[in-house]
Amino acid sequence: MFEVRDKDLAGRIGRLKTRHGVIETPYLFPVVDPRRQEVSLDELRSLGYNAIITNAYFLWKNRREEALNRGIHSLLGFDGIVMTDSGAYQVLQYGSIDVSPREIVEFQSSIGVDIGVILDLPTGASKDKKYAEHTVKETLRRARDASRIAVQGETLWVLPIQGGRFLDLVERSAAEASRIPGYSIFALGSPTPLMERYVFSLVVEMIHRARIHLDPSRPLHLFGAGHPMLIPIAVAMGVDLFDSASYILYARSGRYLTEHGTHRLDELSYFPCSCPVCSKHSPEELREMDAYERTRLLALHNLHVVRRVLGEVKQAIREGRLWELVEAYARSHPALYKAYQAMAGKGSWLEAMDPRVKGIVKGIFLYDCLSIMRPEVTRYRLFIKNTYTPRIPKDRILVLLPGDPEDKPFTASSIYYEARSLYGEAHYVFYTPFYGVVPQELDSAYPLSQYEAPVNPCRSVVREMVRDIGSYVERFQSAYKGIYAAYSPRLKWSLNACRSLSAKYNVRCVKL
C-alpha cells in the first residue's frame, strides 16, 4: 500500500496506493470546501494536486442524501483521490458536533472516500494534562471501535495521535495506536495555536516522539501544517503527508506565501516569484482587481509555492541533501532556526534512520556548529571512536597532520608531501574540523574528501576535534614508537590542537 522509494534523514519519497490512483509523498492535500471554492478542482489537478481533502461532517450535515446516492467523487466532480476529515476541527471550535463517531465513519465509507479519518477527540492546544489524557484515551477507544469497519473495504483509514504539548502522552498515544489493526496512515494533530505562534520547535519534538513509536512502513500525516517554510523540516523528521487550507485562507486575507515567510499583498512592490501568476501580474495589478479574482490568483500562487517546495524536498532526498535544505530554510525565521536546533539535537536518532547508501552521492556542505550533528559526520566519528583500529607495522611513528578543508584529498595535499619528505614511512593521521581524525588509509572514503567547509569553523567544532584527537592518542599511543603533531600557521585551529596535545600527552609539536 505504501512503498518507500528513497530516504534521507527520517524523510522519504514514497508511493501511497489508493482506489483512485497513487499519491507520491511527501504530499500536501489542499483543503477543498464545495460551498466556496475560488480555485476549481480542475485547476488544482493541473497544478499537480491529484488528491484533495474535504470535510465529511459538512457533507453529512448539509448534503447527506445526495452524497450517499451519488458518491463523493461524482458530488465533487473530481475523479482524483479524495480524503475526508471527520469534523474533529469543528469539535475543537464548537466543543461538540451532532454526529456519533461510528455514524461519521460509516458515512465516509458509504460515500466511497479513498482516505477517511475517524472522529478523534483533538487535544488541540490544551494546557490541562488531565484533559489531554482524556483525549488520548477517548481517541484510542474510538479507534478500536472503528477498527472493525477499518479492516474491511477499500478506504484507507487514518488514526490520529493525540497528546498535544504533553510529549509523554504523544508517545503513549503513538505506541498504543500502532497496535490497533485496520489503519494505513497515522496522523499527528499539530495544535494550530502553536503554529500561529511559530512554536515550531515543539512541533519537531512532537513529530519525533510520535515517529519513534510508529510503524515506519505506514505514512505519517501532519494535520493543518501548510506553511511551505515548515515542510522541509517536518519531512526530515518523518512526516509524509500534510493538509492545509492556508493557500486559500491566506489568499482571502491578502497574504502571499513564500518559502521563507508570508508577505501582505499591500506591502509588496515586486513579486519574488516567477510562477505564471507572478510572471503575468504586478502586485499593483492584483491590488486593483476585484476581491474574488485577487483571491483566486493569490491562492494559485500559494499553491505553486507549496508545489515548488515539495519538489525541492524530493530532489534533496534524492541527492541526500535534505539536511542542507533544512539548514538553508532555518535562516528564514529565528523560530525555524530553533526548530532546526531541536532537529540537530536528534542527531543520533536521525543517524539510525538515515540510509548508508544513497542513489545519487554528492559532496556534503558543512557550515557551522550544528552541521557536525548531521548523520554522515556523526556516523563517521562513531566509527572512529568505537570500531577503528590502526593496522600498522611495529616501530612506526605517528604523525598527526592538519587536514586543510581547502586542500583535499588530504593525502594529496602540500602539507602531506612536506611531512613525507621529513618523516618518510610513518602512519599519517589527519586531524580536521567536523570529522575529527582521518587516518591516511581512510582518506578516500566517502564523504571525507567530498565536502566543503569553512577553513576556520566555529569554536565548538574545533573543541570537538581536539577531543577526538585526544581520545585517538589515548587509545593508540602504545602502538607507536613516537608521536609528532604538526601545525600550520595558516590553519589557526591547528596550533591550539598541537599545544593541547603536547601539554597532555607525550607528543612533539612541530611547525610545517
Residue 4 or 275 having the CB closest to Zn ion? 275
**Nearest residue (CB) to Zn ion, 18 versus 246:** 246
Q: Which residues is 81 bridged to in the sheet?
A: 51
Binding mask 254-273 vs Zn ion (x if CB under 5 A, - otherwise)?
-------------------x
DSSP state of 31: B
CB of 206 to Zn ion, least distance (A): 31
Cα separation, 467 vs 39, whole angstroms: 58
CB of 272 to Zn ion, least distance (A): 8
- Residue with smaller CB distance to Zn ion, 273 or 392: 273
Q: Enumerate residues 197-236 that contact Zn ion by CB under 5 A.
A: none
- Lay out the site mask for Zn ion across 365-394 (x = CB under 5 A, - = otherwise): ------------------------------
- The Cα 271–Cα 340 span in angstroms is 28
**Residue numbers 291-350 binding Zn ion by CB under 5 A:** 301
Dist CA 383 CA 347 (whole Å): 15
In the complex, minimum distance from the CB of residue 258 to Zn ion, in angstroms, rounded to a whole number: 9
- Find out whether the peptide bond into 433 is cis, omega within 30 degrees of 0: no
Cell output for 209? 516522539
3-state secondary structure of 451: strand
Give the span between the Cα atoms of 229 and 272, in whole angstroms.
15
Shortest distance (Å) from residue 308 CB to Zn ion: 9
Nearer to Zn ion, 303 or 453 (CB): 303
What single string gives the DSSP state of each residue in 104-160?
HHHHHHHTT-SEEE------TT---HHHHHHHHHHHHHHHHHHHHHHTSSS-EEEEE
Query: Could you give the 3-state DSSP secondary structure of residue 413?
Result: coil
Q: How far is the CB of 488 from Zn ion (least distance, A)?
A: 49
Nearest distance, CB of residue 60 and Zn ion, angstroms: 36
The one among 180, 275, 335, 397 contacting Zn ion by CB under 5 A: 275
Report how many helices (DSSP H) and strands (DSSP E) the chain contains, helices first.
Answer: 22, 20
CA max distance for the chain: 90
* Number of residues near Zn ion (by CB under 5 A): 4
Residue 335, SS3 per DSSP = helix
From residue 136, give the alpha-carbon distance in Å to each of 4, 47, 118, 172, 502. 29, 37, 14, 8, 58
For residues 448 and 452, give the distance between their C-alpha atoms in angstroms, rounded to a whole number. Answer: 10
The whole-angstrom separation of Cα 498 and Cα 509 is: 6
Provide Rg for the chain, Cα atoms: 27
CB nearer to Zn ion: give 261 or 363. Answer: 261
Active-site annotation holder among 8, 79, 85, 240: 85
Least Å from the CB of residue 357 to Zn ion:
37
Closer to Zn ion at the Cβ: 249 or 335? 249
State which residue, 12 or 304, has the beta carbon closest to Zn ion: 304
Q: Which is nearer to Zn ion, 47 or 495 (CB)?
A: 47
CA 339 – CA 233 distance, rounded (Å): 8
Per-position b or e across 10-34, b if 16+ CB within 10 A of its CB? bbbbbebebebeebebbbbbbbbeb
Catalytic-residue membership of 85: yes
Q: Does 4 bind Zn ion (CB under 5 A)?
A: no
In what side-by-side order are the strands of the sheet with 508-511? 436-439, 427-432, 397-402, 482-487, 508-511
CB of 276 to Zn ion, least distance (A): 8
Q: Choose between 254 and 433: whose C-beta lies nearer to Zn ion.
A: 254
* Residue 256 beta carbon to Zn ion: minimum distance, rounded to whole angstroms: 8
d(CA 160, CA 222) in angstroms, rounded, equals 9
Smallest distance from Zn ion to CB 275, Å: 3
Residue 27 DSSP code: E
Binds Zn ion by CB under 5 A, chosen from 199, 278, 353, 501: 278
C-beta atoms surrounding 311 within 10 Å: 11
Stretch that binds Zn ion, among 151-159, 181-189, 258-266, 276-284 (CB under 5 A): 276-284
Burial 342-369 (b: 16+ CB within 10 A, else e): bbbbbbebbbebbeeebeeeeebebbee
Nearer Cβ to Zn ion (279/389): 279
Residues that bind Zn ion (CB under 5 A): 273, 275, 278, 301
Where in the sequence numbering do the catalytic residues fall? Answer: 85
